[in-house]
Amino acid sequence: KQEVTQIPAALSVPEGENLVLNCSFTDSAIYNLQWFRQDPGKGLTSLLLIQSSQREQTSGRLNASLDKSSGRSTLYIAASQPGDSATYLCAVWGGTYKYIFGTGTRLKVLA
């Protein structure tokens, strides 16, 4: 059974810092891994999707890497801003055509 874990559960940093969010999964037989952002009480906004054959994806100040063999992914946020404050979720897409989500990292960037 696939399990997805995110560390840390919460993070508070001053504006301008570079930071790393971690995601680990127990079953390496995945098709892709996706990072989402969720603002309080809202739906999910897709940030980056990494196919199983890829090692990383980049979008603006965001970079996500994937190491299937070790069951790990990291989301790197450069030069953090108060507007980055949100919950970040990772999800893996397995062989049964559905997402399994982690519990999220709640990020607060202080001005």
Contact stretch for another protein (CB under 8 A) within 12-20, 28-36, 54-62, 68-76: 28-36
Instruction: Establish if 62 lies at the interface with another protein (CB under 8 A).
Output: no
The residue range among 53-61, 67-75, 78-86, 97-105 that interacts with another protein, by the rule CB under 8 A, is 97-105
CA 106 to chain centre: 11
User: Residues 46, 58, 59, 81: which binds another protein (CB under 8 A)?
Assistant: 46
Which of 8, 42, 70, 110 forms a contact with another protein (CB under 8 A)? 42
Dist. CA 47–CA 73, nearest whole Å = 14
Q: How many CB atoms lie within 10 A of CB 68?
A: 18
Considering only residues 14, 43, 60, 83, which one is a binding residue for another protein as defined by CB under 8 A? 43
Q: Name the nearest CA neighbour of 31 among 11, 2, 58.
A: 2
Element spanning 44, H or E: strand 44-51
Is residue 104 involved in binding another protein (CB under 8 A)?
A: yes
Distance CA 24, CA 68 (A): 10
Given the rule CB under 8 A, which residues bind another protein? 4, 6, 31-32, 34, 36, 41-44, 46, 49, 89, 91, 93, 96-104
